[in-house]
Structure 1
């Protein structure tokens, strides 16, 4: 991952189901205020603020102030970085295995 990214913080932020639910809501609609973001969720504004602070610290949520409002936006870049580093690495091995499998089948067919 790029310099300055705290992977431990990122994984801790993603580990909590409530924080993932907040991220899902931001993926569906960007620029939400705290009130709109937690509408219908069984949590207090204070509890949600703590979760959002963790997501901001992990660089998963960006906040833009508009007057007295704070608008929350999903930052998908750290999640993409995780996918590229961790999932992508596992996929590379699988694809290499498939290439080797194909090579063997083709060799057997020519014999």
Structure 2
């Protein structure tokens, strides 16, 4: 179990850490839009060097968000949705837990309000 995100696990922690950087989020968006690309082509859309793009792609790869493979002389990268899916499921579960907690608080507050009105009258 992870300390930073209880119940999330190290895979989700890696995804969240990788996505904390806006350049990496933009890279992921570009790869999703293009269906795959090279670091050189991705760098044309960003205010960073190709070398910086390669480093960011390595972080995304380590988090399981992208995969890279050789096509001829080029290294092409593509999105791997499984890690995003697992993170989305964890976030949906977290949101559902909060929804349940907030609904319980609302019920308690409404009951207290009813009790207050009935004791006043």
| Same structural fold, with TM-score higher than 0.5 when normalized by the shorter chain | yes
Q: 1:69 aligns with which of 48, 67, 74?
A: 74
TM-score (norm 1): 0.74
- Contiguous gaps of at least 5 residues in structure 1: 102-111
Aligned to 2:14: 9
Confirm or deny that 1:18 pairs with 2:34.
no
Aligned to 1:104: none
Deviates more, 1:85-94 or 1:32-41: 85-94
Larger Rg: 2
Per the TM alignment, residue 40 of structure 1 is displaced from its structure 2 partner at its CA by 3.0
TM-score (norm 2): 0.68
Decide whether aligned partners of structure 1 residues 50 and 81 sit closer, same or farther in structure 2, where only a CA change above 3 A counts. Answer: same
Indicate the SS of the match to 1:42: coil
- Contiguous gaps of at least 5 residues in structure 2: 1-8, 108-121
Q: 1:82 aligns with which of 87, 96, 100?
A: 87
RMSD: 2.6
Per the TM alignment, residue 92 of structure 1 is displaced from its structure 2 partner at its CA by 5.8
